[in-house]
Structure 1
Amino acid sequence: MTKDLSYTIEEVSQLLKVSKLTIYDLIKKGEIPVFRVGRQMRMDAKDLEAYINHNRNQPADEFQRNGAKDSSKIVISGQDLVLDILGKHIEKGSAYKTLRSYTGSLNSLISMYNGECDIVSLHVLDGDTGEYNLPYVKKILVSYPYILINLVSRKAGLYVQKGNPHNLTSWKDLHQKQVTIINREKGSGARILLDEQLRIHNIPVTEIKGYTKEETNHLSIASAINSGLADAGIGIEKAAKIVGVDFIPLITERLDLVILKTPENTPLIANIKEILASPSFQSEINSLSDYDTSQMGSVIYETL
C-alpha cells in the first residue's frame, strides 16, 4: 500500500473479504476514516493499513470496546436521490454526520436487522395485498420496535426505447418472445416489483428473456435500454427523463423510511419528522418533479 493510494468501499470489501455493509458499519463506528469525492466515499490506503495492523493481534474484548458505536454517525441506506438531499438536511440541522449506502430495499432492511444501518428507505410491493413496505417490515423486524414514515410517492413502470417499438403497455407484454429485458439486482424494490407482477400474472421467470442479466440502479437500466442492449426494464420515471428513454407508468409506489425506535434514535426520529414537515425540504423535493409529497412525513405505522 502506498501513501497516495485510496480505495472505494467495494474495493475495501473485496480486500478484506467481507460485505460492503460490514465496511459501512466500521465507518459508522468511526473505526476507519473516509473522505468523499463527489458522492463516492473513499478510504486512504494508510488508514486501512493502520486499521488492519491495530486489530491484527488485538484481544476480542478490547476490539469490542474500541468498536463502540459513534451515535453521531448514521448510515442512510437506499438509492433514491431524495435520500442524498435528506442526508444534507440532517447534517445542516443537527450534530449527526450521515453516510450513504446505495443498497436495494430488501437488502437494506436486512442490514438494519443486523444493526448495520440507521435509516432505510423501502419501496417493496406485497403482491397479495397490494400494500407497500409494511408487510415486509413486519416480517423482518418482527422483534424490533420501529416507525415507518412516508418520504414520497413516485411512478414506476417500464423503460422502453424511443417510440416504444414493441408497443409494450403492461406487465404481460414482457412475456413476448421478441422482448428482451434487463433486470435489477436481487433484493431491490424494482426486482421485487417485477417478480410479484410475474407471479400475479402466472408468468414463469424462465420464459422472460434477459431475466438473469442485472444492473444495480435505475440509471444503468435506462442506459441499457437507450443503447439497445435490451428492449425493456423496470424503473422510475425520473431516470427515464435523465437518460432519454420512453417510460410506461404502471404503478404508483410509496417510498417510506423505517427507523428503529430506540432511546438513542429518539432525537433522530424527531429530527427527521421536523425535516419532512419543513416547507424548505418539501419545496426542494417538489422542484425535482416526478415526486408526490402529499403524504410526506405521515406515520404509516408505529409499534408501541
Structure 2
Amino acid sequence: MKGSRPLRNGVREARVRLGLSQQELARAAGVTRQTIGGIEAGLYQPSVAVAMRIARVLGAGVEDLFWLEDEVPRVEAVMALPPARPASGRVSLARVGGRWVAYPLGGERAFRTEVVPVDGLVEEGEEAGGEGRVAVRLVGGDVEDLERGVVIAGCSPALGLWAREAERRHPGLRVQWLHANSTQALEMLAKRLVHVAGVHLRDPATGEYNVSFVRRALPGRAVSLIHLGTWREGLAVWPGNPKGLRGAADLARPGVRVVNRERGAGARALLEEALRAAGVPGETVQGLDRVVFSHQEVAREVARGAADAGVVPAAVAAAYALDFVPLQEARFDVAIPDEWLTLEPVRQLLATLSLRALRRQLELAGGFTTERTGELVARVVA
C-alpha cells in the first residue's frame, strides 16, 4: 500500500546466531527455502502464521524478529577510532561514561576468533552534534541489552579468555575486547572510550610497573590497578635456537634479523631497554625498524622465517611452537577509573577474577602466574 511503512526483520541475524542454514530454518518452519530468502532480503512480507512459526523455531518473539522501519531505535554515539577503509558503516556499541561509543567493524577489526556481532549501522549523511558524533541505527537489539556491556582495551590474548568466561558466568553481560598496546589502551581510557585498560609498562628509572604511566595518562582521576597476572617476556626464536641467541647483546650479530613492535607497546619498550642495558646501539640491529602490531604478528614473522627474533610473552611463543629466551617477568594489570567500579557490568567482570576455572585458563593459555590475580595492587590518585 502506498505510504505504508516498510516491514524490517532480523531473521537472518537470529538464524546465523543459531548456526542454521536457510534450508534448515525453512524445513523446521514448514516453508520453502525461497520463502526464507525472500523474507531475509525484504522482498516478501510473511503472514502472521508464517512469522509465528519462524519465531518459534528461532526461539524469539514475533516482535523481536519483525518491526516497522520507524520503530528501529537510534542512538547518538562517539566514534572511538577512525573508520576502517573501505568504510562499511558497521559498528559495535557500548555505553561508556554516560555516552554511547561506536567501534568500527571493518577489515581485521571485524574479527577475533569469530566474527564480531554488528550492533548498528552508521547513518550516511547524518551528523549528531559534532565532535566525531554519528547517528547509529541499531540492528537486532535494544538499548537495555547494549547497556550491559563493558569494553576492555589491551594487547594480551588472555583478555579474550577473561571476556568469554565473564559472559559465560553472567548471562546477558557483553564484554568487548579491543586490541591495543598499553599506551593506546590508556589513551582510550583517558578519553572515556573504554571502561578498562590492560597495561604492562615498566618505568626504567624506578623499576615500577604501570603506576606512573596511569598517573600521567589520567590526571585528576582516581584509578584502581587490579592485577591480572605476571608473565614472562622475552625473545621468540626458531625451534632449536639455531642462531644461538642468549640475550639482547646477540641481536647485533651479523645475520640476525629482528622484528619490532609499534611505539607505545610494552614489548618495544622492553627491547629498547634491554639493548641499552647491553650497550647495543639500535642502528646496529638489523630489522629494528620493521614494525608489526601484535604479539601474534611477531611470533608469525619468526615462525615463517622472516625474522630470527622478536619480543613476545612466553605463552605466545609456545602457541607457535617457538623457543623462548626470557628477558624479564612483567606485571600485567588492568586500570579502571574508580567512578566505574560500581557499574554492574564492571562488577560482574571483576567478580570472575576469583574463579578457579578462569585462573587455570590464564595459566594454561595466557601464560600468567595467578597467585595475585584479582588483587588491588595500587590506587592511583593524580
Q: What is the TM-score with the length of structure 2 in the denominator?
A: 0.65
Of 66-75 and 208-217, more deviation after overlay is shown by 66-75
User: Which one of the candidate residues 68, 78, 85 is aligned to 1:14?
Assistant: 85
Change (3 A) 1:214 1:274: same
CA distance in 1, matches of 2:266, 2:197: 12
Whether 2:144 is the aligned partner of 1:73: answer: no
Partner of 2:165: 89
| Structure 1 position 120, deviation (Å) | 1.0
CA distance in 2, matches of 1:106, 1:289: 21
| Structure 1 position 194, deviation (Å) | 1.2
CA distance in 1, matches of 2:218, 2:309: 34
Change (3 A) 1:225 1:66: closer
CA distance in 1, matches of 2:368, 2:130: 47
CA distance in 1, matches of 2:240, 2:191: 45
User: Which one of the candidate residues 332, 337, 361 is aligned to 1:284?
Assistant: 361
| Structure 1 position 201, deviation (Å) | 3.6
CA distance in 2, matches of 1:25, 1:77: 14
For residues 226-241 of structure 1, the aligned pairs below 5 Å read 226-241=303-318
Change (3 A) 1:223 1:294: same
Q: Is the CA contact (8 Å cut-off) linking 1:31 and 1:51 kept in structure 2?
A: no
Q: Is the CA contact (8 Å cut-off) linking 2:200 and 2:331 kept in structure 1?
A: yes
**2:226 maps to amino acid:** I
* C-alpha RMSD over aligned residues: 3.6
Helix, strand or coil at the partner of 2:272:
helix
Change (3 A) 1:97 1:268: closer
CA distance in 1, matches of 2:101, 2:333: 28
Q: Is the CA contact (8 Å cut-off) linking 2:197 and 2:335 kept in structure 1?
A: yes
Tell me, which stretches of 5 or more residues in structure 2 are unaligned? Answer: 1-39, 42-79, 138-142
Whether 2:371 is the aligned partner of 1:300: answer: no
User: Which one of the candidate residues 116, 123, 132 is aligned to 1:41?
Assistant: 116
Give the structure with the higher percent helix.
Answer: 1
Change (3 A) 1:263 1:75: closer
CA distance in 2, matches of 1:114, 1:204: 36
Helix, strand or coil at the partner of 2:280:
coil
**1:173 maps to amino acid:** D
Partner of 2:123: 51
Tell me, which stretches of 5 or more residues in structure 1 are unaligned? Answer: none
CA distance in 1, matches of 2:193, 2:150: 10
Q: Is the CA contact (8 Å cut-off) linking 2:149 and 2:345 kept in structure 1?
A: no
**2:159 maps to amino acid:** L
Helix, strand or coil at the partner of 2:124:
helix
State which structure, 1 or 2, has the greater radius of gyration over its C-alpha atoms. 2
CA distance in 1, matches of 2:209, 2:171: 30
Change (3 A) 1:280 1:163: closer
**1:90 maps to amino acid:** A
Q: What is the TM-score with the length of structure 1 in the denominator?
A: 0.80
Of 121-130 and 278-287, more deviation after overlay is shown by 278-287
User: Which one of the candidate residues 201, 210, 219 is aligned to 1:124?
Assistant: 201
CA distance in 2, matches of 1:271, 1:219: 29
Change (3 A) 1:264 1:204: same
CA distance in 1, matches of 2:161, 2:318: 19
